Structure 1
Amino acid sequence: MTATTTSEETTAGGDLPLGQRIVRRALTSELIRLGRVDGPRAGHSAAAVAEGYEKAWQIADRWLPLARERRRAASGSVADHARWDGLVRAVTRPDTKVGNPSFTGLVELVGHTRELLRTLRNTEPSYVPVAEVAAQITEAVQNGKYLAGMSLSPGRIAADLGLPLASVKLALTDLAEENVVELSGTGRARLYGLGHTDRAQQIADWLRELIAAGAYPSGTKLPTRPMLARSFISAEYHVVAAIRILTADGTLICHPGQRPVVRPGHPHAGTKATEISRTFRQLPCPTAPMDLSDTGIREAARVAQSWWRAHLSPHPATLDHHYTQLVAIARHLITRAGTRHHRPRASDAGHWEDVDPVIARITATATGVAQAGPEHRVWRTACLAAAVIDLLKLTAEAGEATGPRPRHAFR
């Protein structure tokens, strides 16, 4: 039986559907034929190249009906539907004749056709649809198999649930659109669970907390967007979206070409400053000695930020220990910033205008980490590390103005 009849009977769903083994064998045979289409001899002449195009299109034409059927079946998954749409589009014969076909174009066409056939072979029954894979991952989150805040590789999820790796990757893409997970650049997934707010909303909510804590008093300008992005360890476009949210609800005033301003007379600006400062003083301190040199402080902050950037979820005890260290570092830097004889001369006073907002940011963030749920703690800890680094820079610059300061250990 030829590959043509295989595809026709399979896609038509007739009285005699062919089994999985026969279809896979036909697809494998076509893949072997493709290996000869774009061989070195195909580039010897324009006629040979044109003949290669025709052979590749003939193979693709035989399997496009099945591919289109798979595309229709994938309507429950945006990512899977987009995959099939791209595969079909890449190998569909153009309506108009190709003018001067090139050997490079032939190699690309054969590559796309090969990818189509491999995908068809890999999605033969008993293939699990991507929408069902996404449902299984969601169920695993709901049942507590995967806790909110965990960071997992697609390979780990595929192995745990016994699912195809390619399907898991596509399902995670769909779940990222639904804010159930967040994907890193390397494909790792941080699981947030159902109902999780998106990053822009997260930043907007946290900015409101910082305004209430006095980090950004009413009538003052927010830092630049790149500075805010560094503070929140987030992409700048998320910060822009958060600013839009706060502008729409009246928290901020935004004029074209200018930094956003906390609305003058904002009723909640600074209202929680005293409460947060009191709570911050009650946070626990580590009992073991710590390295409070500038190098040691930067390393502690780097570790906390690297967890978030790499989408890693440390053990809760490890995260708690590191958070407690950052709180102790913050207290040390706040004390250093408030030491009168270390303050710069009057001519440098403008430098210290930035210290109080950073201290307010630190106290609010440290308090927020202690009160945050598991899915937010890694992010809040990274934000605390960013604020600690900002205060370190300010106190270090002030120290340069007043002379070097000896290193010491904090217990």
Structure 2
Amino acid sequence: MNPQAPQDPQENRMTATNTGEQTPGGRDRPPAPDTMRRALTSDLIRLGRIDSHRGGGISPAAVARGYETAWRIADQWLPLARQRRRATSGSKADRERWDALIKAAARPAQPVGRPSFFGLVELAWSVRDLLRTLRDTEPPCVPVAQVAARIAEAIEDGHYPTGASLSPARIAADRNLPVGSVKLALTDLAERKVVELSATGRARITWPGPTDRPQQIADTLRELIAAGAYPPGAQLPVRPVLARNLVCSRPPISAAIRLLIDDGTLICYPGQRPRVRTGHPHTGTKAIVYARAFAQLPDLGGPVDLSDTRIREVVRVTQSWWKARLSPHPATLDHYFAQLVGIARHLMTRAGVSEPCRAAHGDRHQPQGRQKRPEAQVHLDSVIARVTVGATSAAQAAPEHRLWRTACFAAAVHDLLKLTEATGGNATRAS
């Protein structure tokens, strides 16, 4: 569609916007950024007048003039758009964006059909999109390829851990980048298998590859066995409890248990829960190591709200980050981790365990053949071991694993809170 119609006097007063200045040699030179933005804004206002009638009482001649005005505006800016398109090396998504914008706003080579007001509205919106994108990508705008590189660097540094689900707006706010550029960069990163994009545009971090969750869980269970949480011959908790303790679903729990049965850490008889192999050489050998490492962890160093309501809130927030695969700022995660450490120490004192290192030492050297310790004490020792392992493992974990480790630590703190509540502060009292 390429209607030609004479301009009215008002149209004649709307002179074409210059996108460059003439040098003495007659060549164009780019205008100053402020001049370019003002020119783009002025043409955006002109485009707004074209379809302002919204279909009411506009004549075919006025529609034809509107088409011509929109195309004249587009013609002035298409050379700059093509220049921006040529500068998109390294970003397939950015190149495709400019291709689509240029195609939608360009004057067609052959007239097509009869001019209509609705077609004019669509053309005006296409030209607006072109001009807005030109304005948004004016220097010092960061190229999309560089935006993708910055996001990939943040992922590599562990700022966004593997498995985290992030919105483009969150990344844009974190890195001080335009949301539109972030969306295009995420599309490029999805092509490179660094992220996965959901239907809603959220990005799930997959680089450097899918997490081997069963192996991670198996390693954690080995740590708990070494810390004495599950002594020789003890049965593991049922799978729903393990899933709650390790903040994961049941299938990877089952896969992790199979790994531990295969390597001889666990034994399992038909119809029974898996249990730690009697005589396992590593059971309880690192209890004192974990306890001492926990004692050396720093906490907030100031007052901590130790009300049960606040404790549950800290646990809930920490676990919700992992369950939703969100990525809190590292400083925020550090703050909540320090709160959990302070809370755990307070709950240990409330439970009558003022020095977990001494408790672990005494438990390890308990004489053989003595009367079995009360079940409540065994349960408390298991939870204390989970607390010390969870805290020290989270403190030492790689950035991509720290969120999950902190969620496991929070689960242990929550169980310790429930123990102290159920026994009125004396968790060693028989239930």
TM interval, short-chain normalised: 0.5 to 0.7
Taking a change above 3 Å as real, the CA distance of residues 78 and 305 of structure 1, as seen in their structure-2 partners, is farther
- Distance, in Å, in 1 between the alignment partners of 2:240 and 2:70 is 57
Question: Does residue 71 in structure 1 map to residue 85 in structure 2?
Answer: yes
Give the structure-2-normalised TM-score: 0.54
Question: Does residue 118 in structure 1 map to residue 132 in structure 2?
Answer: yes
- Distance, in Å, in 2 between the alignment partners of 1:59 and 1:333 is 78
Unaligned runs of 5+ in 1: 159-163, 244-250, 254-259, 344-351, 400-404
Q: Contact (CA 8 Å) 2:218, 2:260: kept in 1 or not?
A: no
Question: Does residue 201 in structure 1 map to residue 211 in structure 2?
Answer: yes
Taking a change above 3 Å as real, the CA distance of residues 61 and 210 of structure 1, as seen in their structure-2 partners, is same
Taking a change above 3 Å as real, the CA distance of residues 297 and 137 of structure 1, as seen in their structure-2 partners, is closer
- Distance, in Å, in 1 between the alignment partners of 2:57 and 2:221 is 70
Shift of 1:59: 5.0
Q: 2:424 aligns with which of 401, 406, 409?
A: 406
Q: Which residue of 2 aligns with 1:274?
A: 284
Q: Which residue of 2 aligns with 1:313?
A: 330
Letter in 2 for 1:201: T
- Distance, in Å, in 1 between the alignment partners of 2:115 and 2:415 is 60
Letter in 2 for 1:267: D
Taking a change above 3 Å as real, the CA distance of residues 167 and 288 of structure 1, as seen in their structure-2 partners, is closer
Q: Which residue of 1 aligns with 2:313?
A: 299
* Identity level (%): 36
Q: Contact (CA 8 Å) 2:55, 2:117: kept in 1 or not?
A: no
Taking a change above 3 Å as real, the CA distance of residues 165 and 314 of structure 1, as seen in their structure-2 partners, is same
- Distance, in Å, in 2 between the alignment partners of 1:197 and 1:379 is 17
Letter in 2 for 1:73: A
Paired residue total: 349
Letter in 1 for 2:27: L
Letter in 1 for 2:98: W
Shift of 1:2: 6.7
3-state secondary structure, aligned to 1:381: helix
Taking a change above 3 Å as real, the CA distance of residues 166 and 153 of structure 1, as seen in their structure-2 partners, is closer
Shift of 1:368: 0.9
Question: Does residue 365 in structure 1 map to residue 390 in structure 2?
Answer: yes
Shift of 1:34: 0.4
3-state secondary structure, aligned to 1:74: coil
Q: Contact (CA 8 Å) 2:40, 2:135: kept in 1 or not?
A: yes
- Distance, in Å, in 2 between the alignment partners of 1:342 and 1:49 is 87
- Distance, in Å, in 2 between the alignment partners of 1:181 and 1:370 is 26
- Distance, in Å, in 1 between the alignment partners of 2:27 and 2:257 is 71
3-state secondary structure, aligned to 1:314: helix
- Distance, in Å, in 2 between the alignment partners of 1:79 and 1:333 is 57
- Distance, in Å, in 2 between the alignment partners of 1:366 and 1:108 is 58
List per-residue Cα deviations over 1:129-161 (Å, max 9, x = no partner): 33245557888999xxxx864999745754xxx
Taking a change above 3 Å as real, the CA distance of residues 52 and 301 of structure 1, as seen in their structure-2 partners, is farther
Q: Which residue of 2 aligns with 1:248?
A: none
Shift of 1:39: 0.5
- Distance, in Å, in 2 between the alignment partners of 1:211 and 1:52 is 75
Q: Which residue of 1 aligns with 2:7?
A: none
Unaligned runs of 5+ in 2: 1-13, 162-169, 266-275, 354-371
List per-residue Cα deviations over 1:191-225 (Å, max 9, x = no partner): x9xx9745x42746532422434689999996599
- Distance, in Å, in 1 between the alignment partners of 2:113 and 2:241 is 52
Taking a change above 3 Å as real, the CA distance of residues 34 and 100 of structure 1, as seen in their structure-2 partners, is closer
Q: 1:388 aligns with which of 395, 407, 413?
A: 413
Shift of 1:300: 3.2
Q: Which residue of 1 aligns with 2:271?
A: none
Q: Which residue of 2 aligns with 1:16?
A: 27
